[in-house]
Amino acid sequence: MTVDEMDLVRQLKGAAPLRPGAYEQAQAMLRDAMAESGRRTRRRTLSLRAKAGLGAGIAAAAAAAAGIALVVTPAPRPAGAAGAVPQASPVTSRLVSLAAMIKASGGTLPGDASLVIRTQTIDGKSPDVSYNLYTDSGAFYGGGDKKSLMQAVARHEDDADGIDAREVAAARSAAGGDLAAARVRMVNASPNYLGLGLGPAARKKIWAQAKAKSAEIYKEKGIEFPANPPAGKALQEDADNYLWNNSVEALSAGGGDPQVREGVLRLLSTISAVTVANSTAGGQPALTLTAGPEVFGGAGSEVLTVNARTGMPVKAVMPAEGNVPSSVQTFQVSRVTLAGIEAGRF
Amino acid sequence: MTSDAELIGRSLAGDGQAFMEVICRHEGAVGAYLARRAGREAAEDLLGEVWVAAFESRGTYDRSFAGARPWLYGVALNRLRRYWRSRPAEDLVPDVTSLGGGWDPWPAVDARVDTQAVLRAALARLKPEEREVLTLVAWEDLTAADAARVLGRPAGTARRLLHQARTALRNEPGVAALLTDLNRVKESQ
């Protein structure tokens, strides 16, 4: 076959692939723009906190690419799997103590929804404020300001995707029941291909489906899709990544419910890479929970500050790491009524 | 699988996640497209700007086209043009005035080996739109019709530009010599 000019030009096709963190950063920029556009776009920060490498990163993107919301029903857990509950260390037992304190304080809070006013500053740029309303019945309304939130509620623009509801349910189950089962439930609350809680054959099948659907995308990115699902320590770390991200989301979505806060703290106490220290925030005693690099694929960390008496989220800080920019979020959580929001009483 | 057009429609109806899904499908290809034309560092900086520009202009997307990749390449090309214009002249080409658009970066691209140097020099001498159609077809595996979508030109125009580009390349003395050598070696094998 004769070589022609097109064959020659194709020889110049090669280019160094973008680093995986660049895709995360670009997506974060898009999310930022979406929020600023004033549309009902929730300010999920999962992409910033997701792993930059393989594993959870692949699973999340693969699921998104395939348009699949795969929810794995927890099944009896094989011995030694990542759902196992590690022994609480002296530091993380502070979380268990706080969880017990929240439980003892008892009682449900007034209102029928939690309003989370989230202020996020990415890479030191001007802060972005979002108004997020999570109802006890599982609906979600979002806005860039007070007025747009009121409009969203008035127009019944429920933007719930089901993930929050599953995360909150998993947290509640951790408060009163089997912690190992709740851990699996929380990991599986958001789409992923880990197949946590399933047997080896089922996990391999799910992984193969993910690979088939995403092979082309990852080839374009210059990343090799692993032949087999993660196992052992890698599985533990991927599961911890989901557990941390989803638990922090649950704390926002269900922070108005003491049972959710209790459950989230108990779940976070099972992550061995999370350390806890005493601090203060706004003059109030606080606990800072630091999720180390093991939770983020070996690079990066995140510090979550919660009120030391209530477990309410106060702040989440992620230092810059590689191409992923720094992020500082503060939370103002309050209990409200849907009718009150619609009437502007907040 | 849901088409890109359907997802963009859902995005216009307020489903933010739908647009993210479109991005996830094409980010590898668009990232590579940018890297091939501006280098990895610049591509990493530009990718987010491309997504934002695409999101803001998605209302103009022609949903009779199921796949959005050519459209995204078009958005990326617009960002690249702005990027190239913003670069200092010395980063682009010593004699900028010799080029039609005044912002053409190709002559400044490093040549690593002789063959590449010959090819890159030949590409640099093509008209910008001829070169864009040629590389969209050769590097991004698009048809001439899809390349036309990228440029916002009629399909017939893209086909003509591709034909002109190929003819011009074949007639470049350096490229012609390369082709002769390569085909002679192949024949002897």
| B79-106 burial code (b ≥16 CB/10 A, e <16) | bbeebbeeeeeeebbeeeeebeeebbbb
Identify the residue among B10, B15, B19, B44 best suited for mutation to test binding to A, counting A beta carbons within 10 A and taking the highest: B44
Enumerate the residues of chain B whose CB falls inside 8 A of the CB of residue A37.
55-56
Identify whether the C-beta of residue A336 lies closer than 8 Å to the C-beta of residue A346: yes
Q: Look at residue A14 and tell me if it is in a domain.
A: no
State the pLDDT confidence band at B100, using cuts at 50, 70 and 90: very low
Q: Look at residue B49 and tell me if it is in a domain.
A: yes
Residue A108: predicted pLDDT: 66
Residue A72: predicted pLDDT: 34
For chain A, the residue count is 346
Q: Look at residue B33 and tell me if it is in a domain.
A: yes
- Report the number of distinct structural domains present in chain A: 1
Determine the Cα–Cα distance for residues B155 and A149; give it in Å rounded to an integer: 45
- Which CATH number goes with the domain that contains B78? 1.10.1740.10
Is the CB of B31 less than 8 angstroms away from the CB of A66?
no
Identify whether the C-beta of residue A193 lies closer than 8 Å to the C-beta of residue A70: yes
The DSSP code sequence of A288-328 is: EEEE-GGGGTTS--EEEEEETTT--EEEEEE--BTTBPPEE
- Report the number of distinct structural domains present in chain B: 1
Enumerate the residues of chain B whose CB falls inside 8 A of the CB of residue A26.
27, 44, 47-48, 50-51
Cα dist. A303→A237, A242, A243, A329 in Å?
A: 17, 16, 15, 10
Q: Look at residue A2 and tell me if it is in a domain.
A: no
Residue B96: predicted pLDDT: 27
Residue A65: predicted pLDDT: 37
In chain A, % of residues over pLDDT 90: 23
Is the CB of A161 less than 8 angstroms away from the CB of B17?
yes
Q: Look at residue B104 and tell me if it is in a domain.
A: no
pTM (2 decimals)? 0.60
Residue A58: predicted pLDDT: 43
Q: Look at residue A183 and tell me if it is in a domain.
A: yes
Which tops the pLDDT comparison, A320 or A87? A320
**B126 CA to chain A: closest CA distance, Å?**
13
As a whole number of Å, the CA-based R_g of chain A is: 21
Determine the Cα–Cα distance for residues A189 and A162; give it in Å rounded to an integer: 9
**A273 CA to chain B: closest CA distance, Å?**
30
Enumerate the residues of chain B whose CB falls inside 8 A of the CB of residue A28.
48
Which one-letter amino acid corresponds to residue A176?
A: G
pLDDT at A285 over 50: yes
Is the CB of B47 less than 8 angstroms away from the CB of A4?
no
Q: Look at residue A324 and tell me if it is in a domain.
A: yes
Tokens standing for residue A198: 């399933």
Q: Look at residue A13 and tell me if it is in a domain.
A: no
Identify the residue among B8, B15, B21, B27 best suited for mutation to test binding to A, counting A beta carbons within 10 A and taking the highest: B27
Identify the residue among A12, A43, A159 best suited for mutation to test binding to B, counting B beta carbons within 10 A and taking the highest: A12
Q: Look at residue B135 and tell me if it is in a domain.
A: no
The DSSP code sequence of A212-264 is: HHHHHHHHHTT-PPPSS---HHHHHHHHHHHHHHHHHHHHHHTTTSHHHHHHH
pLDDT at B46 over 90: yes
Q: Look at residue B11 and tell me if it is in a domain.
A: yes
Q: Which residues contact A232 (CB under 8 A, 6 or more apart)?
A: none
Q: Look at residue A15 and tell me if it is in a domain.
A: no
Residue A87: predicted pLDDT: 54
The phi, psi pair for B27, rounded to 5°, reads -65, -35
State the pLDDT confidence band at B70, using cuts at 50, 70 and 90: very high
Residue B34: predicted pLDDT: 93
Residue B14's nearest CA partner among B62, B54, B59, B61 is B59
Q: Which of A99-108, A253-262, A311-320, B71-80 has the lowest mean pLDDT?
A: A99-108
Domain of residue A174 covers: 20-342
**Residue from the list A5, A37, A323 with its beta carbon closest to the beta carbon of B170:** A5
**Closest-CA residue in chain B for A44?**
B17
β-pairing, A140-143 vs A274-281, is unpaired
Q: Look at residue A252 and tell me if it is in a domain.
A: yes
Q: Look at residue B165 and tell me if it is in a domain.
A: no
**Residue from the list A2, A22, A30 with its beta carbon closest to the beta carbon of B183:** A2
State the pLDDT confidence band at B55, using cuts at 50, 70 and 90: very high
What is the rounded average pLDDT of the residues A151-171? 86
Question: Coil, helix or strand for B39?
Answer: coil
Identify whether the C-beta of residue B100 lies closer than 8 Å to the C-beta of residue B42: no
Enumerate the residues of chain B whose CB falls inside 8 A of the CB of residue A19.
40, 44
pLDDT digits (tens, 9 = 90+) for A199-209: 999 999 988 88
Determine the Cα–Cα distance for residues B166 and A5; give it in Å rounded to an integer: 7
The phi, psi pair for B133, rounded to 5°, reads -65, -45
Domain of residue B56 covers: 1-86
